[in-house]
Amino acid sequence: MKSHLNIAFFGSSLVSAYWNGAATYYRGILRALAERGHHVTFYEPDAYDRQAHRDMPDPDWANVVVYAANSSDAVLSIVQQARDADLIVKASGVGVYDELLEAAVLELKSPRNTVVFWDVDAPATLDRLGADADDPFRVLVPHYDLILTNGGGEPVIDAYESFGAARCVPIYNALDPRVHFPVSAESRFQCDLAFLGNRVPDRERRVDELFIDVAAALPSCKFLLGGSGWGDRPLPANIAYAGHVFTRDHNAFNSTPSAVLNINRESMARYGFYPPARIFEAAGAGACLITDAWEGIEMFLDPGDEVLVANDGDEVASHLESLTPELCREIGDAAMKRIQSEHTYAHRVIQLEELLEGRDAWKSQPMEARV
């Protein structure tokens, strides 16, 4: 591997977290890569009103190219700009012309570069592939040099390999301690339990059970709901709705409440080993974290000491009723120490570099062996 890579990255958005849950992950990984001397160009479409909801300017650690995604010819022209890159990445969930991009980046493959599909929502992708034998991405999987994911253990790796992936490796979500850290409490976020997450079908039933129903059962407690899409949802009187919470406010959102709740989407919980970025954000801010139960949580935080795990709404309520200010601080401090020492984006990028160092071995695998 060259010591300093020229990286072309096609993703949803680097500069806007608006309806874009991968933004924190992109920022953490790509900033850490730049700090290791690599040059990053991030290509994002002008779509979904994200440019009007930017929460950061163009960073000095990446060149951001915003392109008009109004025709296939325009998108193909943008892809050609990446032809000289050493590492070419097509992320999942760009949102427009995904099928076109998935095929087009493979046309740039050569012996001197590495072309990667980076899945930031492997459960959704794998469920889709499993349900549709004619999904066009099925035939493309074996042609990528490498499949990376932001979560998932053996179930995700095995599933991708069953579709012919040459190699599949999780590069987990993590913490950027310069971005997420404890701050002073803000009255607008004061509550006993807070949950931040957009309203999506794959999670709404779990939000009902683990948050909304718990609030209804504990009318003397204060709850706070943040995220887009909940405005027309009837809520118990003790739930305040904060709407979309900009990333600049995430530290206060996580530092202020007595406890912060994580609820994985149903598919992520089913595959396991899929810690969302919210867990690392909250732990980095010193939050006392309660999470829904999913296999693999102990790889990241120690249940009982660094995180509280709930199998259902009754257990969320039980945790909440047993918490004291002292216990909240103890759990939050322990989680922050663990994440800072083992799970930052600096750790993840070293893992990625070591993986790419061995590219000659896994790039030489014959295509016939992958399918």
Pick from 28, 17, 19: which is nearest to 284 by CA? 28
pLDDT for 362? 55
Complete domains list, the chain, with CATH: 6-174+346-370 (3.40.50.2000), 187-343 (3.40.50.2000)
Q: What is the DSSP letter of 209?
A: I
Cβ count within 10 A of residue 240: 16
Torsion 148-153-155-158 (CA) sign:
positive
Mean pLDDT by 10 residues, the chain (371 residues): 89 95 96 98 96 95 96 96 98 97 98 97 95 97 98 95 97 97 98 96 95 98 96 97 94 98 93 94 98 96 98 98 97 98 97 87 54 47
Cα gap 110→309, rounded to integer Å: 47
Pick from 11, 45, 36: which is nearest to 26 by CA? 11
pLDDT for 102? 98
Cα gap 161→141, rounded to integer Å: 9
Cβ count within 10 A of residue 142: 18
pLDDT for 370? 46
- CA distances 131 to 97, 134, 135, 138, 165, Å, are 21, 9, 9, 11, 18
pLDDT for 371? 47
- Helix H segments across the chain? 23-35, 72-80, 98-104, 122-131, 154-162, 201-207, 213-217, 250-255, 266-271, 277-284, 313-322, 325-342, 345-357, 359-363
Q: What is the DSSP letter of 59?
A: P
The alpha carbon of 211 is separated from its chain's Cα centroid by a whole number of angstroms, namely 21
pLDDT for 282? 98
